[in-house]
Copies of this chain bind each other. A is one copy, B any other.
Amino acid sequence: MRVVRQELSTTSYALLGLLVFDGTPSDGMTGYELKQRADKTLRFYWVSPAMSQVYTELGRLEHLRLVSVTPERAGRRKAQRYRITDVGFAELHQWLAATEPEFPVLKHPTALRLLMGGLLGADRAHSLLAGYLEQLAERRKSLLAVRDSLGDAEALRYPAMVADWGLRYYDSEADIARDLITRLPPAEARPPEPSDRT
């Protein structure tokens, strides 16, 4: 029953994938909820699309019959609930099974700036890396909360594996950044190492 062949973007498939794991079966999710879930999970290894993009994407998926929409019945506030259709599931499965993953794309503003560290001197290079360590600690905290919420249930084995992947990635980045700091040339008056402090 191949219906579509319209080349969806990876982000489309990612959102479709999130719809598979809606909590209470076939309850569906609103665009708003989908965005929240993307903020919690997708953003760690893909991107979390803007609200407007989520709605645009849902519109496209619905047009292709990969998701179905039902207006929220009265009682609660009005909302469109989306759930994945059989066709959508088949399409997602086909994508997963048949497409070769590209190599990851990393946009690393800190590394990019460090490359030009020579223009700046060790002081600024140090603060670049120190700032990155702080960002990492913060991100790690968010991801750890997600990972904890997944627990060890068999049903969530793969999401848990991916969350662990992320955590180890952040740890590795922190290791490397700390190491690079020790390799900076001695600066005349560099502020003390952030050993104590918060």
Contact = CB atoms under 8 A, between A and B. Distances in A.
B106 A106 contact: yes
A36 interface: no
Interface of A is mostly: helix
A114 B108 CA distance: 23
Contacts of A132: 101
Nearest to A110: B101
Contacts of A172: 168-169, 172, 176
Interface stretch (A56-64, A71-79, A155-163): A155-163
Which has the most chain B C-beta neighbours within 10 Å: A47, A112, A183, A185?
A: A112
Nearest to A118: B158
Contacts of A100: 131
Given A14-B112, A109-B104, A125 B169 contact: no
Given A47-B105, A168-B172, 6 more contacts: A45-B111, A103-B135, A104-B111, A117-B157, A118-B155, A118-B158
30 contacts: A1-B198, A10-B107, A17-B115, A17-B116, A20-B119, A45-B107, A45-B112, A46-B106, A92-B119, A93-B194, A94-B198, A96-B119, A100-B131, A101-B110, A103-B109, A104-B106, A104-B107, A104-B108, A104-B110, A105-B107, A106-B107, A114-B161, A115-B158, A115-B162, A117-B158, A118-B157, A118-B158, A164-B180, A165-B180, A169-B176
